[in-house]
Structure 1
Amino acid sequence: MDAHDDYDSPWKEAVEVMLPEFMAFYFPDAAAHIDWQQPHRFLDQELQQIMPDAESGKRVVDKLAEVMLLNGDSQWVYIHIEIQSQRDNAFAERMYCYHYRIFDRYQRPVASFAILADNHPHWRPAHYQSSVLGCHQRLDFPIAKLLDYASQETGLLASENPFALVTLAHLHTRRTRGQDRQRYRTKRRLLLLLAGRQWERQRIIQLFRVIDWLMTLPPVLNQQLRREVANQGGPTVKFLSVFERHAIDEAAREALAQGIVQGESVLLARMLTRRFGPLPTEVQTRLTSASSSQLEHWADRILDAASLDEVFG
């Protein structure tokens, strides 16, 4: 995995904001028995208490959600989702242990699901069993192997389920390790495809965040991609605020280590550079000599301004 690749954050957000679509795409049979008209609830803190010994670095993310079934008896059940990024010989046993712990905690039916996001096509753990002295126990759990979708790109591109694009982004992120230019071209293609979808604005922005997180690029290429996407016009303009938010977050982390006014100046300079490109010497001088209130005033104008003149006008 490249040092700058981040699989955890995008998958976690994708599952949290689009759980019905996630289940419908990877586990349609199970999804058909869930009453999605009823609100579902994630139990992240409870999951951490149930799994205090979980090893770090071996999975992408695991989630626990409370959902209601369509069987007419108003029964709440728990679904445990684990997205595994690396081959692990103890994975099936861990699925069994967590399945039992969740049941023991809530005394309610539990369904466990696994997304296998690794690079080993023949590694497909789908059950755990043990036997001793005539006692037998076994857990079978549904799995979805992301590598299986690698040959289905045409269908994924045509799919209306947002997790088709998430799957493509994940596969291309792995495929383009160390190939920033190739990743740039693929990411651009997926973003423009996303922009053309007739989905709600919020859904498009959510998916943009997921793809942008997965398909990380060096800052220079990311800035170039932002400009190219922005120049397309139309629905792609809605992506700009997300690009700028990432620029703000990155700059803020650096600014924390500096003096307040100096940090604000550095932060604003980074934001302006991301938005409009290299800054003229005159602008740099104004930033370094400005007061905190001036810097704040200019910062408020950045996202709506079309040029440096509008920021400083």
Structure 2
Amino acid sequence: MDDDYDTPWKEVVTNYFPEFMAFYFPDAHAAIDWSRPYAFLDQELASLSRDAEVGKRLLDKLVRVHLCDGGQQWVLVHLEVQGWHDAAFAERIFTYHYRVYDRYRKPVVSMAVLADSGKGWRPSRFVYRTMDCEMRLIFPIVKLQDYADRLPELLAHPSPFALVTSAHLLTQQTRRNAEHRRAAKWRLTRLLYKRSWDKQRIIDFYHAIDWMMRLPDALDAQFRDDVYALERREAMPYINNFERAGRKIGRQEGLLEGRQEGRQEGRATLLASMLAKRFGALDAVVMARLATADAERLSAWALNFVDARTLDEVFRD
């Protein structure tokens, strides 16, 4: 199965950054004053890394935060979620670290979540020494594989990132067994419905799990039918409302068919959730526009969304 970890991680980390920090880096979370606004500086980070060897990763973020002690007006958190073994990873963290410091002249805190499938790779420092000159950067890491033997504990944990971690690990573990993946995905979905969370929160984390734990077409159709039935039993018919609307419009206009329809519908569903999260409830015109767009147009809108301040800016050419 062609798994995609990238998009789900980006969405949930961006939308639920304080909870991400609380689950993976509790000491850093405790040091941040969350009563004051934080800001993502992703465009600035991109401008600092254009000529750097960036390698493969799932996510990198630069976030401006304020500390509780009041000693610094603000500091910068440089975060990476790394999905593959990369021999140059520690050096890349060091390169970004000094470039960010050189740009802002503010303290920089680098940290990483290692989401690869191995257990032994744990880069947490970059050091070199020549003559009497030594350079050393030590940064905190979290290794997702350390949770692999603690799935019952994760599934009972109240943090939504315990579910995201479970979904990531179970996606890796079931890569060659679609039926086992369907069962694991169903278990996580049922747990999600039992959480006393607001509607948007459940939608966001459902889509992260759904996007990450991809299924073959036949099993995916069966899984969605099971979700519809669960919605009826739980009287919570909202996770798949957009999917239903998208299918209806696609049938009427004859634009989305078969496997391509399912893939584009998934992209449209995720983008709809992102838009609703930032701009509020979407009207029928916007839903129809998303449901009938081709994959290239959906990708362009998703890129526009990153720095869009209005819906019109999302749909600009």
- TM-score (norm: length of structure 2): 0.77
Distance, in Å, in 2 between the alignment partners of 1:74 and 1:245 is 49
Task: Please give the per-residue CA displacement for 1:231-253, whole angstroms capped at 9, x wherever unaligned.
Answer: 1222552211254478699x7xx
Say whether the 8 Å CA contact 1:130–1:136 is kept in structure 2.
yes
Q: Deviations over 1:182-219 (max 9, x none)?
A: 11111011011101100111111110111111101123
- Alignment match, 1:38: 36
Among all aligned residue pairs of Structure 1 and Structure 2, give the percentage whose two residues are the same amino acid: 46
Taking the aligned partners of 2:55 and 2:222, their CA distance within structure 1 comes to 32
Distance 1:120 1:223, change over 3 A: same
**CA 146–45 in structure 1, closer or farther in 2 if over 3 Å, else same:** same
d(CA) in 2 for partners of 1:166, 1:237: 22
1:78: which partner in 2?
A: 76
Q: Distance in 2 between matches of 1:5 and 1:169?
A: 12
1:61-119: CA deviation from partner (whole Å, max 9, x where unpaired): 11111111111246111101111111111111111111111111111111011011112
Larger radius of gyration: 1
- Amino acid in the other structure paired with 2:254: S
The CA deviation at 1:221 is 1.9
Task: Tell me which residue corresponds to 1:229.
Answer: 227
Q: 1:206/1:153 Cα in 2 relative to 1: closer, same or farther (>3 Å)?
A: same
Mind listing any 5+ residue stretches in structure 2 that lack a counterpart?
Answer: 263-283, 292-317
Does the 8 Å contact 1:247/1:270 carry over to 2?
no
Aligned residues: 264
Tell me: CA distance 1:110–1:74, structure 2 relative to 1, closer, same or farther (3 Å).
closer
- Contact 1:176–1:183 (Cα < 8 Å) also in 2: yes
**Closer, same or farther: CA 214–246 of 1 in aligned 2, 3 Å:** farther
Structure 2 residue aligned with 1:203: 201
Instruction: State the SS of the aligned residue for 2:239.
Output: helix
Task: Write out per-residue CA displacement over residues 21-46 of structure 1, whole angstroms, 9 at most, x where no aligned residue.
Answer: 11110110111000111121111111
1:265 aligns with 2:254: yes
Task: Provide the rounded CA distance (Å) in 2 between the counterparts of 1:29 and 1:166.
Answer: 20
How many Å separate the matches in 2 of 1:263 and 1:132?
70
| 1:112 maps onto 2:101 in alignment | no
CA-CA distance at 1:156 after TM superposition: 0.7
Q: Give the stretch that moved more between structures: 84-93 or 216-225.
A: 216-225
1:156 to 151, 154, 157: 154
| SS at 1:136 equivalent | strand
- 1:263/1:243 CA distance change after superposition, 3 Å: closer
Cα RMSD for the two superposed structures: 2.7
Distance 2:248 2:79 in 1: 32
Give the distance between the partners of 1:56 and 1:104, measured in 2 at CA: 18
C-alpha distance in structure 2 between counterparts of 1:148 and 1:245, whole Å: 41
- Give 4+ residue runs of structure 1 displaced > 3 Å after superposition: 53-57, 242-249
Residue in structure 2 matching 1:218, options 202, 216, 219: 216
Instruction: Select which of 163, 188, 204 maps to 1:165.
Output: 163
- Aligned mate of 2:57, from 59, 79, 82: 59
